[in-house]
Amino acid sequence: METILIVLCFLSFLLLSPIALSEKCNPQDKKALLRIKKELNNPYVLASWDPHTDCCEWYCIECDEKTHRITALTIQSSVPDTNLSGHIPPSVGDLPYLENLEFHKFPRLTGPIQPTIAKLTNLKYLLITWTNVSGPIPSFLSQLKNLQLLHLSFNNLTGPIPPSLSQLSNLLSLKLDRNKLTGPIPDSFGSFKKPGPDIILSHNQLSGPIPASLGQLDPERIDFSRNKLEGDASMLFGSKKRTQILDVSRNLLSFDFSKVDFPKQSLIWLDLNHNKIYGNIPVALTKVENLQQFNVSYNSLCGKIPQGGELQKRFDEYAYFHNKCLCGPPLPPCK
């Protein structure tokens, strides 16, 4: 009789609390997540974070299949979500197995890039994009040696780019575009492990010359557009590179375009508009096979546009207009 009662009790316990036995979530991780939810003032996007359920089943979370430790915290919205407000929660630093941390499209997420992120040495992906996070890009990020993607686009970040970021030897993609960053592109960037990450720095207030050391790198994508960079950019060119996208438009760059060569197989996008680039357009450009986007308008170029390749077939006068004395198709004939 007693045994039957115990069995019955146990059965009802099983029925009433199905998760208690099957919960995979690590209790420390769960505690940290619930603190995170509280620190963000219980936003609607985290409504599924119910303390009575297994946190490995919550939205925005991924657990490791074997250890069940939290490996990803990706809080994202497809439309700007103003329900979430406050700072990046300090408790994100208490998820030691995190490999992926992401906040996307929260205009009312403010304050600094949380210093406790320095503890997350397993991070491979750090994406804080389209928020109002402000202050400087902290140099402690250079200690996160496993980082592959560092995307801090579309925020309210100010100050200079920390030179120490070049110590991130696993970095594949660095996006710091659409902030209010000032100062130069660090000279140290030339010492990124070869071939170097894609570097997207557009829509900031970066100034000074592009470091000559960047010529040693060979990333697939470079976008320095809409800054105040001046002087030479010819180190970014070369026939042996594998560049696909090179956009340095809307700067104050000034160099002799006649002297550069191009990666003829890889280059698909070359935008140089609104600079002070001089010389003429090299014939080598007619040999670039897959050029899909090209713009040298608003510069100080001169001479006859080379005929052939994609240069007339694909691009009209608006790719060439407002130069010093460029001429020939698709512009009016040379005199």
Ligand X SMILES: *[C@@H]1O[C@H](CO)[C@@H](O)[C@H](O)[C@H]1NC(C)=O
Which residues lie near ligand X (CB under 6 A)?
Answer: 44-45, 77, 79, 81, 83, 107, 110, 130-132, 134, 154, 156, 158, 273, 295, 297-298, 315, 318-319
Structure tokens at 55: 């946190």
Q: How many residues does the chain have?
A: 335
Q: Which of 146, 49, 157, 156 is nearest to 98 (CA)?
A: 146
Q: Residue 224 in contact with residue 201, Cβ under 8 Å?
A: yes
The minimum distance between CB 16 and ligand X, in angstroms, equals: 30
The minimum distance between CB 311 and ligand X, in angstroms, equals: 12
Would you say 255 or 298 has its CB closer to ligand X?
298
Q: What is the dihedral of CA 155, 160, 164, 168, to 10 degrees?
A: 30
Would you say 214 or 311 has its CB closer to ligand X?
311
- Strands (E) in 255-319, as ranges, are 269-271, 278-279, 293-295, 300-304
The minimum distance between CB 182 and ligand X, in angstroms, equals: 11
The minimum distance between CB 53 and ligand X, in angstroms, equals: 20
The minimum distance between CB 197 and ligand X, in angstroms, equals: 23
Would you say 157 or 185 has its CB closer to ligand X?
157
The minimum distance between CB 30 and ligand X, in angstroms, equals: 23
Q: Which residue is nearest to ligand X (CB)?
A: 107
Q: Verify cis geometry, omega within 30 degrees of 0, for the bond prior to 115.
A: no
Would you say 190 or 309 has its CB closer to ligand X?
309
Would you say 226 or 241 has its CB closer to ligand X?
226
Would you say 55 or 319 has its CB closer to ligand X?
319
**Measured distance CA(23)–CA(51) in Å, rounded:** 11
Task: Concatenate the DSSP letters of all residues of 16-38 into one string.
Answer: H-HHHHH--S-HHHHHHHHHHHH
Would you say 31 or 108 has its CB closer to ligand X?
108
Beta bridge partners of 132: none
The minimum distance between CB 203 and ligand X, in angstroms, equals: 11
**Measured distance CA(86)–CA(80) in Å, rounded:** 15
Using CB atoms within 10 Å of the CB of residue 119, give its burial: 0 to 12 exposed, 13 to 18 middle, 19+ buried.
middle
